[in-house]
Structure 1
Amino acid sequence: MCHGHSSRQSEGGAIAILRGQGRQSGALFNAKITLKNFEEDITTQATFLFEKTNRLPTLGACTLVIHQDGNLNYEDTTRAPLHHIPFDLYEDQMYEISLPARLDLGVGGEGIIGRKMSLMNSRQVIAEGIIGWN
């Protein structure tokens, strides 16, 4: 992303690098979440890849929240999120799920690019980041 030039090959879809600290377990970890729409009218596929070097907290029932804005420093609790996706996540380093709906992997309107994504467990934010092009 350096002025339009990068040695990294595009994989398509969207990506979010979530960074956080498990408040309950104290475990620091990073997660890379990729989102792809493979075919028309099929729900979005999400792949979670957790960094190997960190101890993963027990996550279990989680919620992936895509917020209306892209500001990591401020949370507007009066606005409903753009997407609120509950799912179960286990202690695997890689995990793939089909989301319940097809997400717009574009910018503006219902698009998710540039918006904040939060990974939550028991109503607590575990990690968050910004969604970008992959």
Structure 2
Amino acid sequence: MCHGHSSRKSEGGAIAILRGEGRQSGALFNAKITLKNFEEDVSTHATFLFERTNRIPSLGSCTLIIHQDGNLNYEDTTQEPLHYIPFNIYGEQACEMSLPARLDLGVGGQGVIGRKMSLMNSRQVIAEGIIGWN
């Protein structure tokens, strides 16, 4: 990564490291989400790894939002998200799923690289990050 060199081996696809802090509980929350397109015309495969550093309630029904922009400091509530993906997580540290559609894992146009990703429960944003190459 630094100056084009990294000891980390590329796994392909895209990755987002989401970080958040519960407003009421103060609980820290980290998630690693990888996105891969294995075959032509098959929906995108997502892997979720969660690290709960303090007590945080079970996530249950969640929504993964991929925003139109990549700005973590500003929320444009008038702009529709690029992707809105509902899913369920109950007490698991990791899960895998096929998304409802195939995502463009590139840059620009409908591509997701460089865009903000938010993980939400029914009431609030739990964690946010930027999608990058994996």
Q: TM-score, normalised by structure 2?
A: 0.94
Q: Quick check: 1:41 aligned with 2:69?
A: no
How many angstroms does 1:54 deviate by? 4.0
Q: Quick check: 1:67 aligned with 2:67?
A: yes
Q: Quick check: 1:125 aligned with 2:125?
A: yes
Aligned-residue CA RMSD (Å): 1.3
State how many pairs are aligned: 134
How many angstroms does 1:16 deviate by? 0.2
- Identify which range, 51-60 or 13-22, moves more after superposition: 51-60
Alpha-carbon distance change, 98 to 127 in structure 1, aligned in 2, over 3 angstroms: same
In structure 2, C-alpha distance between the alignment counterparts of 1:7 and 1:61, rounded to whole Å: 36
Deviating beyond 3 angstroms after TM superposition, the runs of 4 or more aligned structure 1 residues are: 23-26, 52-56
Q: Which runs of 5+ in 1 are unaligned?
A: none
Q: TM-score, normalised by structure 1?
A: 0.94
In structure 2, C-alpha distance between the alignment counterparts of 1:42 and 1:17, rounded to whole Å: 24
Quick one: percent identity of the two aligned structures? Answer: 84
In structure 2, C-alpha distance between the alignment counterparts of 1:50 and 1:67, rounded to whole Å: 21
Amino acid at match of 1:81: P
Amino acid at match of 1:8: R
Paired residue for 2:19?
A: 19
Amino acid at match of 2:43: T
In structure 2, C-alpha distance between the alignment counterparts of 1:24 and 1:87, rounded to whole Å: 23
Q: Quick check: 1:6 aligned with 2:6?
A: yes
Q: Assess if the C-alpha contact under 8 Å between 2:30 and 2:52 holds in 1.
A: no
How many angstroms does 1:56 deviate by? 4.0
